[in-house]
Amino acid sequence: MLGRFWVGLGVAVALIAGAPMAQAQSGWSRGNAVAATQDIDRGTAGWGQIPVTPAPAAGAGTTEPRLDPLNEFESWAVVVVAGDWRSSQGRPIQAFENSRRDLSQAFERAGFAPGNVTALSLAPNPDGTSLGSQRAFASIEATTQRATAGCLFYFTSHGSPSGIVFGPGGTMAPTVLDQLLDSWCGTRPTVVVVSACFSGVFVPALAQSNRMIMTAARRDRSSFGCSEDDTHPYFDACVLESLDEAVDFLALSQRTTGCVNRREREEGLRPPSEPQTYVGAQLQSLLPFLRFASP
């Protein structure tokens, strides 16, 4: 039976002890996911036991990845996606694109190999064409097959209680992202950051023993910083600020949450967004040993 509890200080950490974890259905394909992003939340997950030892996803080979002892993240896949390019009024903004660019560079400075960092924009090109879900998924899959030690996903976009904006006319639902993560990374150590309003809706759907999840807001709260005047969404700006001092993902979560809370208090923004963090049981003992490169 799945058991959880949450602790305070603005950072919610769920502990799962001996819990069976959700796995993707064997019939799931990238084609299903492309259709599902168009506001269709389809697919149900079965239940299976997650092994303690991280393993590569199907198709990624059976050789256990070897890490450079001086750089734990050298063989991690990093994907940063800007899912929207508009303000809430539909006007063009640069905040998500700025985050895509600056976060990718910041993660490289933190020790992730530049060759394993993929930064994707779903904004339309000047001629009206766009990357599209299928090509984005193919690019992500190629990255996760190339770098097999662990996975870091960062999505920055607008959000709603149904999910996050994922390109023109698309919505990435939490259950869809859960199944995609299973396909891309399997049981490898996986960190997922969802920076969007209402992004706390992703926590229950994505919660697995091998995952850490950070969201910019509670499931019933907005986040801030997505207007024409903002350089980055507030949550992304705090991640960038906190990466300079954080030693690992746990410290990054704590510092980011504190930064967001402080900024919202100083600017009188209410109700507060209340960023959320979940850490699965398997990662609780692993994350303190996965340390970022020193600035």
What pLDDT sits at residue 223?
97
More confident residue, 60 or 275: 275
**Is it the case that residue 128 has pLDDT exceeding 50?**
yes
| Cα(28)–Cα(25) distance, integer angstroms | 6
More confident residue, 11 or 231: 231
Structural tokens at position 27: 């019939």
What pLDDT sits at residue 163?
98
**Is it the case that residue 227 has pLDDT exceeding 60?**
yes
What pLDDT sits at residue 172?
97
More confident residue, 54 or 207: 207
| Cα(51)–Cα(210) distance, integer angstroms | 9
Contact 196, 173 (CB under 8 A): no
Residues in the chain: 295
| Cα(234)–Cα(287) distance, integer angstroms | 25
**Span 10-64, pLDDT tens digits:** 333 433 333 333 333 333 333 444 444 443 333 322 222 222 223 334 334 433 4
Residue 97 DSSP one-character state: H
Secondary structure E strands in 21-139: 21-23, 46-48, 76-82, 117-121
| Cα(30)–Cα(198) distance, integer angstroms | 25
pLDDT > 90 in the chain, percent: 66
**Span 58-110, pLDDT tens digits:** 334 433 433 344 568 999 999 999 999 998 888 999 999 999 999 999 999 99
Confidence of residue 295 (pLDDT cuts 50, 70, 90): low
**Is it the case that residue 6 has pLDDT exceeding 80?**
no
| Cα(154)–Cα(112) distance, integer angstroms | 14
- Measured CA angle at 211 (ends 205, 216), to 5 deg: 65
Tell me what the mean pLDDT of segment 264-285 comes to: 96
**Is it the case that residue 136 has pLDDT exceeding 80?**
yes
What pLDDT sits at residue 171?
94
**Is it the case that residue 127 has pLDDT exceeding 90?**
no
Phi-psi region of 89 (alpha: psi -120 to 50; beta: other; left: phi over 0): alpha
Structural tokens at position 228: 């024409």
| Integer angstrom CA distances of residue 155 from 78, 85, 225, 235 | 11, 13, 15, 12
User: Which residue in 140, 136, 144 sits closest to 76, CA to CA?
Assistant: 144
**Is it the case that residue 115 has pLDDT exceeding 90?**
yes
User: Which residue in 104, 83, 51, 45 sits closest to 166, CA to CA?
Assistant: 83
What pLDDT sits at residue 131?
86
Domains and CATH numbers, the chain: 73-289 (3.40.50.1460)
